[in-house]
A and B are shown apart, each in its own frame.
Chain A
Amino acid sequence: MSHTDAPNQRQDAELPALGFTGTLRFLWVQLTSMRTALMLLLLLAVAAVPGSLFPQRPAGPGIVDDYISDNPAAGEWLDRFQMFDVYSSVWFSAIYLLLFVSLIGCVFPRAVKHAKALRSAPPRTPRLLSRLPEYGKVVLESTGPSPRDAVDQAAKILKKRGYRIQVRQEAEGNASVGAERGYVREIGNIVFHLSLIGVLAFMAAGSMLSYRGQKILVEGEGFANTLVAYDAFTPGSAFSEQKLNPFSMTLDSFEAEFDRESDTHYGQALDFTAVLGVRHGPGEPEQTTELKVNHPLDIDGVRVYLVGNGYAPEVTVRDGIGNIAFQGPVIGRAEDQVYTSLMVIKAPDSEPDQLGFVGFFLPTAYTGEDGVAISIDPELLNPELNLNSYYGDLGLDTGEPQNVYVLDTDTLTELNSRNLEAGGITLSPGESYELPEGKGSIAFDGVKRFVGLDIVYDPAKWGVGIFAVLAMLALGVSLFVRRRRVWVRGTTDPNGYTTVEYGLLARGESFGLREENVALRRQMERTWPVQAPKDADDAEGGPSTSDYKPPSGHDAHPVDIQAAMPAIHRPPESKPNTTENRPE
Chain B
Amino acid sequence: MSNLKHSPGSAPRTPDPLRRPGRRQVLVGLAGIAALPVLAACSSDDPLAAQAGNADGKNYIAGDGSVLEIRPDERGEPVQFSSTLFSGEPISTDSLVGDPAVLNFWYAACAPCRVEAPDLQALHEELEPQDVRFVGVNVRDTVATAQAFERNFGITYPSVEDLNGQVLLAMTDYVPPQAVPTTIVLDRQGRVSARILGIAERSTLRTLITTVLGEQA
Contacts and interface: CB of A to CB of B under 8 A. Distances in A.
B57 A403 contact: yes
Contact of B15 (A17, A60, A282): A17
A230 interface: yes
B95 interface: no
B112 interface: yes
B105 A328 contact: no
A146 B111 CA distance: 98
A13 B168 contact: no
A384 B115 CA distance: 35
B53 A327 contact: no
B115 A398 contact: yes
Nearest to B16: A17
Given A23-B29, A227-B177, A282-B169, A94 B109 contact: no
Nearest to A212: B52
Nearest to B46: A235
A550 interface: no
Contacts, number: 230
B37 A226 contact: no
B164 interface: yes
Given A93-B41, A323-B148, A401-B111, A12 B13 contact: yes
B3 to A, nearest CB: 6
A106 to B, nearest CB: 16
A229 interface: yes
- Count chain B CB atoms within 10 A of each CB in A229, A235, A250 and give the residue with the most: A229
Contacts of A396: 109, 111, 114
B25 A239 contact: no
Given A94-B34, A398-B115, A282 B149 contact: no
B21 interface: yes
Contact of A27 (B29, B164, B170): B29
A26 B20 contact: yes
Interface residues of A, number: 81
B164 A350 contact: no
> Interface centre among A15, A60, A94, A248, by most B CB within 10 Å?
A94
Given A13-B4, A399-B112, A323 B151 contact: yes
Interface string A313-338: 00010010001111110000000000
B114 A226 contact: no
Contacts of B28: 23
Which residue, A9, A31, A350, has most C-beta atoms of chain B within 10 A?
Answer: A9
A401 B61 contact: no
Interface string A369-399: 0000000000000000000000000001111
Given A85-B53, A232-B51, A401-B111, 8 more contacts: A17-B15, A90-B37, A94-B34, A229-B168, A231-B59, A232-B52, A281-B169, A348-B114
25 contacts: A10-B3, A13-B3, A23-B25, A26-B20, A26-B26, A57-B53, A88-B41, A94-B37, A97-B36, A224-B169, A226-B177, A228-B139, A228-B165, A229-B168, A231-B59, A232-B52, A235-B52, A237-B49, A244-B176, A246-B173, A282-B169, A324-B145, A396-B111, A396-B114, A404-B57
Interface of B: 3-6, 8, 11, 13, 15-17, 19-22, 24-26, 28-30, 33-34, 36-38, 40-41, 43, 46, 48-49, 51-62, 105, 108-109, 111-112, 114-115, 139, 141-145, 147-149, 151-152, 163-166, 168-173, 176-180, 182, 199
